[in-house]
Amino acid sequence: MHARIAGVGACLPGSPVGNGDLVRRGVDTTDEWIAARTGIRARHLAGEGDTTSGLAFEASRRALDAAGMAASELDLIVVATTTPDFIFPGTACLLQGRLGNVGAMAFDVQAVCGGFVYALIVAEKFIRSGSHKKALVVGADIVSRILDWRDRATCVLFGDGAGAVVLGAADSPGILSSAAHADGSWHGILAAAGQARGGRIVGDPFVRMDGQAVFKLAVRALSEIASECCESAGIPPSGIDWLIPHQANVRIIESTAKKLGLTMDKVVVTVDHHGNTSAASVPLALDAAIRDGRVRRGQKILLEGVGAGVTWGAVLLEF
């Protein structure tokens, strides 16, 4: 038993918010400063009434439509998120309720920006085991609600959104190999360390980051995990059709591609128009590349993510 992607969907809330819009809102920065250091030109920000489960629902509905599948057919729902609607119940159960599914196993995965890849790996293992046949895997985050808008080193980097894929059991391999790792000794370089205690927030609830440390670790982790995944499948990096990395910073993406010996015409880059959407970034980029015709059936795609924790992982698949 194998797992193949049957459908993909995405959701970006509201209208694009450009770098100039942030300046007009009072952020101490410039369009040139942001674009030169990150490649980001715009991002989408959730409105007051938006929820993570709501964005996940829209992306899931589109993925199910693309797969030609009803929500009632799902027997597994996995949601990767760092910004759940509530402490509990889990966002996956809230999504399940909105979809009208009853009985599917549903749970959240928290691996921050590496979350979608982690969730995809988990779902694929369930299908490979034979215990489940149709899975919905979602990456969804509203990071804007945990940003300090006075901290230009972090607030200009992130956006909100959701992406979803439907996995189905198949006789031939769709996911060819996968790998994932974590190293908790690096937890301090990227964190939102606040917590709810006694009805109040204790600690710093905002995203804080050591930019240089994150950059160096991300490039090393992404290049190494890509090589590991390709080696496991017996395919050199040059043999893949598309690299779809976590969309955090164009310079990280370019450095990773260089280490793998790939030219940028084989790399999907969407960070310029939606920023770092955490767990949503990889499925958002996959959806964009499918819809504009770059990614086609039969091609080999390498998805990879790296996030706070530190977590990192990759999936090599035949679309």
Q: Which residues pair with 139 in a beta bridge?
A: 80, 163
Q: Per-residue pLDDT averaged across 149-173, rounded?
A: 97
200 C-beta neighbours (distance < 10 Å), count: 7
Catalytic residue among 19, 101, 249, 276: 276
Phi, psi (degrees; rounded to nearest 5) at 239? -85, -5
Q: What CA–CA distance (Å, rounded) separates 147 from 155?
A: 6
What's the rounded mean pLDDT across residues 143-167? 97
Q: How far apart are CA 298 and CA 95, in angstroms?
A: 31
Does residue 310 have a cis bond before it (omega within 30 degrees)? yes
Pull the structure tokens for residue 294.
């770059």
pLDDT (0 to 100) of residue 244: 98
Q: Span 249-255, mean pLDDT?
A: 98
- Residues 240/230, Cβ–Cβ less than 8 Å: yes
Burial label, 274 (beta-carbon count in 10 A; 0-12, 13-18, 19+): buried
What values do phi and psi take at 215, rounded to 5? -60, -50
Helix axes 115-129, 281-291, angle to 10 degrees: 80
The predicted model gives 198-203 an average pLDDT of: 96
Quick one: pLDDT at residue 73?
Answer: 98
- What domains, with CATH codes, occur in the chain? 2-171 (3.40.47.10), 176-318 (3.40.47.10)
pLDDT in tens, 6-45: 999 999 999 999 999 999 999 999 999 999 999 999 999 9
Among the listed residues 113, 155, 229, 230, the single catalytic one is 113
Q: What is the pTM of this model?
A: 0.97
Given this model, what pLDDT does residue 190 score? 98
Beta strands 242-245 and 300-307: pairing type?
parallel
Q: For residue 268, what are the CA distances in angstroms to 74, 208, 286?
A: 29, 27, 8
**Is residue 19 flagged as an active site residue?**
no
Look at residue 11 in the predicted model and tell me its pLDDT: 98
Let me know: does 34 contact 40? Beta carbons within 8 Å. yes
In this structure, are strands 195-197 and 200-202 parallel, antiparallel, or unpaired? antiparallel
Q: How far apart are CA 169 and CA 178, in angstroms?
A: 17
Question: For 105, phi and psi rounded to 5 degrees?
Answer: -65, 130
Backbone angles phi, psi at 135, to 5 degrees: -125, 145
181 is catalytic: no
Of 246, 249, 273, 274, catalytic: 246
pLDDT of residue 307: 98
pLDDT in tens, 271-309: 999 999 999 999 999 999 999 999 999 999 999 999 999
Catalytic: 113?
yes
Predicted confidence at residue 216, as pLDDT, reads 97
Q: For residue 297, give the 3-state DSSP assignment.
A: coil
Provide the pLDDT for residue 37: 94
The span from the first CA to the last CA of the chain, in angstroms, equals 16
Mean pLDDT of the chain: 97
Mean pLDDT for 71-79 is: 98
Classify 5 as helix, strand or coil: strand
Q: Tokens in use for 122?
A: 């988990």
Question: For 113, which DSSP code?
Answer: G
What pLDDT sits at residue 280?
A: 98
